[in-house]
Amino acid sequence: MKCILSLLFFAIVSIFSFISCNDKKLNNLQNQVDTLKITIENTYKPGLGEFMLAVQTHHAKLWFAGINKNWSLADFEVGEIKETLNNAIKFLPERSETKDIPMIFPDLDSLYADIKNENLAKFTTHFNALTKNCNECHHAVGFDFNKIKIPTSEPVSNQEFKQR
Protein backbone atom coordinates (compact mmCIF):
# COMPACT_ATOMS: atom_id res chain seq x y z
CA MET A 1 0.00 0.00 0.00
CA LYS A 2 2.86 2.34 0.91
CA CYS A 3 4.43 1.55 -2.46
CA ILE A 4 1.21 2.41 -4.28
CA LEU A 5 0.89 5.69 -2.38
CA SER A 6 4.51 6.53 -3.16
CA LEU A 7 3.92 5.72 -6.81
CA LEU A 8 0.73 7.81 -6.85
CA PHE A 9 2.55 10.69 -5.17
CA PHE A 10 5.37 10.44 -7.73
CA ALA A 11 2.83 10.42 -10.58
CA ILE A 12 1.06 13.52 -9.23
CA VAL A 13 4.37 15.38 -8.77
CA SER A 14 5.43 14.38 -12.31
CA ILE A 15 2.15 15.62 -13.78
CA PHE A 16 2.44 18.98 -12.00
CA SER A 17 6.09 19.27 -13.08
CA PHE A 18 5.08 18.52 -16.67
CA ILE A 19 2.25 21.08 -16.54
CA SER A 20 4.55 23.67 -14.98
CA CYS A 21 7.21 23.04 -17.65
CA ASN A 22 4.60 23.34 -20.43
CA ASP A 23 3.25 26.54 -18.89
CA LYS A 24 6.75 28.01 -19.01
CA LYS A 25 7.13 26.94 -22.65
CA LEU A 26 3.72 28.36 -23.53
CA ASN A 27 4.53 31.64 -21.75
CA ASN A 28 7.84 31.81 -23.62
CA LEU A 29 6.10 31.20 -26.95
CA GLN A 30 3.42 33.79 -26.15
CA ASN A 31 6.15 36.33 -25.32
CA GLN A 32 7.80 35.62 -28.67
CA VAL A 33 4.47 36.06 -30.49
CA ASP A 34 3.79 39.33 -28.65
CA THR A 35 7.28 40.62 -29.51
CA LEU A 36 6.82 39.70 -33.18
CA LYS A 37 3.44 41.45 -33.28
CA ILE A 38 5.01 44.64 -31.92
CA THR A 39 7.86 44.36 -34.42
CA ILE A 40 5.45 43.89 -37.34
CA GLU A 41 3.26 46.80 -36.21
CA ASN A 42 6.32 49.06 -36.10
CA THR A 43 7.85 47.91 -39.39
CA TYR A 44 7.79 50.49 -42.18
CA LYS A 45 5.17 49.76 -44.81
CA PRO A 46 5.05 52.00 -47.88
CA GLY A 47 1.80 53.80 -48.53
CA LEU A 48 -0.06 53.62 -51.80
CA GLY A 49 1.50 56.92 -52.86
CA GLU A 50 5.01 55.46 -52.58
CA PHE A 51 4.03 52.48 -54.72
CA MET A 52 2.37 54.73 -57.30
CA LEU A 53 5.37 57.07 -57.43
CA ALA A 54 7.53 54.06 -58.26
CA VAL A 55 5.05 53.04 -60.98
CA GLN A 56 5.08 56.58 -62.38
CA THR A 57 8.88 56.59 -62.57
CA HIS A 58 8.95 53.19 -64.28
CA HIS A 59 6.17 54.35 -66.63
CA ALA A 60 8.35 57.27 -67.78
CA LYS A 61 11.45 55.10 -68.06
CA LEU A 62 9.49 52.53 -70.04
CA TRP A 63 8.44 55.21 -72.52
CA PHE A 64 11.98 56.40 -73.17
CA ALA A 65 13.36 52.88 -73.35
CA GLY A 66 10.67 51.91 -75.87
CA ILE A 67 10.91 54.91 -78.17
CA ASN A 68 14.69 54.45 -78.21
CA LYS A 69 14.22 50.75 -79.04
CA ASN A 70 16.11 49.70 -75.95
CA TRP A 71 13.99 46.57 -75.70
CA SER A 72 15.94 45.00 -72.82
CA LEU A 73 15.41 48.08 -70.67
CA ALA A 74 11.77 48.34 -71.76
CA ASP A 75 11.22 44.71 -70.77
CA PHE A 76 12.82 45.39 -67.39
CA GLU A 77 10.63 48.47 -66.78
CA VAL A 78 7.38 46.62 -67.62
CA GLY A 79 8.44 43.97 -65.10
CA GLU A 80 9.12 46.64 -62.49
CA ILE A 81 5.68 48.18 -63.00
CA LYS A 82 3.98 44.81 -62.65
CA GLU A 83 6.04 43.91 -59.57
CA THR A 84 5.29 47.24 -57.91
CA LEU A 85 1.56 46.93 -58.60
CA ASN A 86 1.53 43.37 -57.27
CA ASN A 87 3.33 44.57 -54.13
CA ALA A 88 0.74 47.32 -53.64
CA ILE A 89 -1.98 44.67 -53.81
CA LYS A 90 -0.07 42.35 -51.48
CA PHE A 91 0.98 44.88 -48.85
CA LEU A 92 -2.09 47.14 -48.90
CA PRO A 93 -5.05 44.76 -49.12
CA GLU A 94 -7.03 47.00 -46.76
CA ARG A 95 -6.95 49.84 -49.32
CA SER A 96 -10.06 49.72 -51.50
CA GLU A 97 -8.08 51.26 -54.37
CA THR A 98 -5.91 48.19 -54.76
CA LYS A 99 -8.84 46.07 -55.96
CA ASP A 100 -8.85 48.04 -59.25
CA ILE A 101 -5.13 47.66 -59.96
CA PRO A 102 -5.51 44.43 -62.00
CA MET A 103 -7.25 46.46 -64.73
CA ILE A 104 -3.72 47.58 -65.73
CA PHE A 105 -2.30 44.08 -66.23
CA PRO A 106 -3.69 43.42 -69.76
CA ASP A 107 -1.96 46.60 -70.97
CA LEU A 108 1.32 45.42 -69.47
CA ASP A 109 0.89 42.02 -71.12
CA SER A 110 0.38 43.74 -74.48
CA LEU A 111 3.52 45.79 -73.93
CA TYR A 112 5.48 42.64 -73.09
CA ALA A 113 4.47 41.19 -76.47
CA ASP A 114 5.36 44.41 -78.32
CA ILE A 115 8.75 44.50 -76.64
CA LYS A 116 9.42 40.84 -77.40
CA ASN A 117 8.52 41.49 -81.05
CA GLU A 118 10.44 44.80 -81.06
CA ASN A 119 7.41 46.50 -82.57
CA LEU A 120 7.65 50.25 -81.95
CA ALA A 121 4.30 51.09 -83.57
CA LYS A 122 2.38 48.63 -81.37
CA PHE A 123 4.48 49.61 -78.36
CA THR A 124 3.43 53.24 -78.83
CA THR A 125 -0.24 52.27 -79.23
CA HIS A 126 -0.22 50.05 -76.15
CA PHE A 127 1.75 52.55 -74.09
CA ASN A 128 -0.94 55.13 -74.86
CA ALA A 129 -3.56 52.55 -73.81
CA LEU A 130 -1.65 51.92 -70.57
CA THR A 131 -1.51 55.63 -69.83
CA LYS A 132 -5.23 56.01 -70.55
CA ASN A 133 -6.01 53.02 -68.34
CA CYS A 134 -3.91 54.47 -65.49
CA ASN A 135 -6.12 57.55 -65.63
CA GLU A 136 -9.27 55.43 -65.80
CA CYS A 137 -8.12 53.57 -62.70
CA HIS A 138 -7.46 56.88 -60.95
CA HIS A 139 -10.96 58.01 -61.92
CA ALA A 140 -12.50 54.74 -60.66
CA VAL A 141 -10.94 55.18 -57.22
CA GLY A 142 -11.60 58.91 -56.88
CA PHE A 143 -8.11 60.16 -57.71
CA ASP A 144 -9.09 62.10 -60.85
CA PHE A 145 -6.76 64.91 -59.82
CA ASN A 146 -3.81 62.60 -60.55
CA LYS A 147 -3.54 62.65 -64.36
CA ILE A 148 -0.82 60.63 -66.03
CA LYS A 149 0.51 61.58 -69.48
CA ILE A 150 3.13 60.58 -71.99
CA PRO A 151 6.40 61.92 -70.56
CA THR A 152 8.06 64.78 -72.41
CA SER A 153 11.45 64.64 -70.70
CA GLU A 154 13.58 61.84 -69.38
CA PRO A 155 12.80 61.11 -65.71
CA VAL A 156 16.43 60.81 -64.70
CA SER A 157 19.48 62.44 -66.22
CA ASN A 158 21.91 59.76 -65.09
CA GLN A 159 20.57 56.91 -67.24
CA GLU A 160 21.10 56.21 -70.92
CA PHE A 161 17.88 55.21 -72.66
CA LYS A 162 19.33 54.70 -76.15
CA GLN A 163 20.35 51.21 -77.11
CA ARG A 164 24.13 50.88 -77.45
List, for residues 28-39, the tens digit of each pLDDT value: 877 887 888 888
- Widest pairwise Cα distance in the chain: 98
pTM of the model: 0.77
Instruction: Give the pLDDT of residue 137.
Output: 93
DSSP state letters, 58-79: HHHHHHHHHHTT-HHHHHHHHH
The number of residues in the chain equals 164
Distance CA 113, CA 155 (A): 24
Q: Is the pLDDT of residue 84 over 80?
A: yes
Low-confidence winner among 59-63, 80-84, 147-151, 154-158 (lowest mean pLDDT): 154-158
Instruction: Give the pLDDT of residue 4.
Output: 67
pLDDT digits (tens, 9 = 90+) for 118-146: 999 999 999 999 999 999 999 999 999 99
Instruction: Give the pLDDT of residue 20.
Output: 64
The angle subtended at Cα 109 by Cα 104 and Cα 114, nearest 5°, is 125
Listed in sequence order, the residues at least 6 apart from 75 whose beta carbon sits closer than 8 Å to its beta carbon are: 112, 115, 116
Instruction: Give the pLDDT of residue 28.
Output: 80
Kindly state the average pLDDT of the residues 73-98.
96
The backbone torsions φ and ψ at residue 145, rounded to the nearest 5 degrees and listed phi first, read -65, -15
Kindly state the average pLDDT of the residues 52-63.
97
Name the fold adopted by 48-140: Four Helix Bundle (Hemerythrin (Met), subunit A) (1.20.120)
Angle, helices 120-140 vs 48-67, to 10°: value is 160
66 contacts 127 by C-beta, under 8 angstroms: yes
Residue 158, SS3? coil
Distance CA 16, CA 21 (A): 8
Instruction: Spell out a b/e string for 7-44, using b for 16 or more CB atoms within 10 Å of the CB, else e.
Output: eeeeeeeeeeeeeeeeeeeeeeeeeeeeeeeeeeeeee
103 contacts 91 by C-beta, under 8 angstroms: no
Of 10 and 4, which is predicted with more confidence?
4
Total Cβ atoms within 10 A of residue 146: 15
pLDDT digits (tens, 9 = 90+) for 99-111: 999 999 999 999 9
Instruction: Give the pLDDT of residue 62.
Output: 98
